[in-house]
Structure 1
């Protein structure tokens, strides 16, 4: 195996399981495959900085042991899901607003998920949305 190399993901198709990395050094794109990812594949997005070991595959340079260098925590659930952290109710605003209806909250949440992490699958969106809506109901943040 060659030494550790850094680069940015040019594109990665989570469904097909492959993509390409632009290495910091060199001008040839490096092939990446989902089997070589260290983190969950949905975290690998276009523009993400990664470290990897460069190998020569049958068709050219290939990355192995691909690890994200920096993960934005704003779009991630904590390890272990929502139960892994304590969520406190927001402080009361100066003017009390009624809690939104669950349908409105669900629609807004779906749009937020699509806007923030475009590579989520429909099933992933449904799972996250159901978990967040249950939490919102339990906290009284939405009305039925």
Structure 2
């Protein structure tokens, strides 16, 4: 049975959020794997249509479709860079826009990605790779501070 509701929160990095059903009741879990559209289109206030399914931890939205995206889509703020040079080609770009993350947020995301990519990595290997990538990100000013 199709239900409708409004997104009350959605974290595009973690890949999940919650919908408040129009008919009331408990909030419904929504996961990026159940979307057939760009996850960046979900934001608080966006109305969706979905099939409520029973998941491991309660109701879960399946077959999610956007009904009304009249609410402004909210993205992380992008920080403009006046001038950038490609490290591989040397090509110069003007008016480049990129996301800049706090060092702690980047570190957390990177650690999670490394563990998901290869659960066989030791803690020492994860820390070594993370340190190297953070140094690269910092040198390109991809991190705040």
- C-alpha RMSD over aligned residues: 2.6
2:69 aligned residue (63, 68, 71): 71
Cα deviations by residue, 1:50-85 (Å, 9 ceiling, x for unpaired): 00010000100000111110234xx9xxxxxxxxxx
Following superposition, the deviation at residue 130 of structure 1 comes to: 4.6
The answer to whether the Cα contact below 8 Å between 1:10 and 1:21 also exists between their aligned partners in 2 is yes
Cα deviations by residue, 1:79-116 (Å, 9 ceiling, x for unpaired): xxxxxxxxxxxxxxxxxxxxxxxxxxxxxxxxxxxxx6
Q: Which runs of 5+ in 2 are unaligned?
A: 82-94, 98-145
Structure 1 equivalent of residue 8 of structure 2: 10
Structure 2 equivalent of residue 113 of structure 1: none
Query: Structure 2 vs 1, CA of residues 23 and 15 (structure 1 numbering), >3 Å: closer, same or farther?
Result: same
Local SS of the residue matching 2:6: strand
Q: Which structure has more helix as a fraction of its residues?
A: 1
Structure 1 equivalent of residue 31 of structure 2: 33
What's the TM-score, normalizing by structure 2?
0.51
Cα deviations by residue, 1:104-132 (Å, 9 ceiling, x for unpaired): xxxxxxxxxxxx64324649x78xx659x
Say if 2:81 is the partner of 1:118.
no
Local SS of the residue matching 2:69: coil
Between the aligned partners of 1:37 and 1:10, the Cα distance in structure 2 is: 16
Q: Which runs of 5+ in 1 are unaligned?
A: 76-115, 132-144
Between the aligned partners of 1:49 and 1:61, the Cα distance in structure 2 is: 17
Q: Which structure has more strand as a fraction of its residues?
A: 2
**Structure showing greater relative contact order (alpha-carbon pairs closer than 8 Å, 6 or more residues apart):** 1
The answer to whether the Cα contact below 8 Å between 1:42 and 1:120 also exists between their aligned partners in 2 is no
